[in-house]
Amino acid sequence: MPDILAIMTTYHCPQDGTRSAVSALTWRCPVCHGPWDLDFTPAPGLALNALSGRANSLWRYEEILPLSAPSVSLGEGRTPLVPLTDTVSAKLDHLMPTLSLKDRGAVMLAELARRLKPDRVVA
């Protein structure tokens, strides 16, 4: 899969349709001040047998993620899915490295920031 920096050239505001170049390094729309969405269409699904033998992290699914060939990881992902009833299961994301489901998104953001090389990152 091509890297997102090669295929994604714009951010998109879902509230008002404003677009901005990825190189602008802004975190919100200048018109409505809402957060940007990535202008990204994921690749088709991934076969389960393709996952065999891969690392137990978010990056095992890199073909369908917006970034590939990562160098940043906290060991996020692969949290247990526990059945609650016959039709409902719960994902135990409190078992992530920082005890939060936000680890998946944070590692993608950290990897994108590493590649874009901004002067600073505010977290």
pTM, entire model: 0.60
Tokens 């091509």 correspond to 2
Kindly give the parts of the chain with pLDDT less than 70: 1-9, 41-43
Cβ atoms 111, 103 nearer than 8 A? no
Q: Which residues contact 19 (CB under 8 A, 6 or more apart)?
A: 10, 11, 12, 13, 39
Q: Tell me the C-alpha distance between 53 and 64, whole Å.
A: 17
Residue from 70, 66, 44 nearest 55 by CA: 70
| pLDDT at res. 1 | 43
Q: Which residues contact 109 (CB under 8 A, 6 or more apart)?
A: none
> Which tokens in the block code for residue 89?
């299961």
3-state secondary structure of 16: coil
| pLDDT at res. 60 | 83
3-state secondary structure of 115: helix
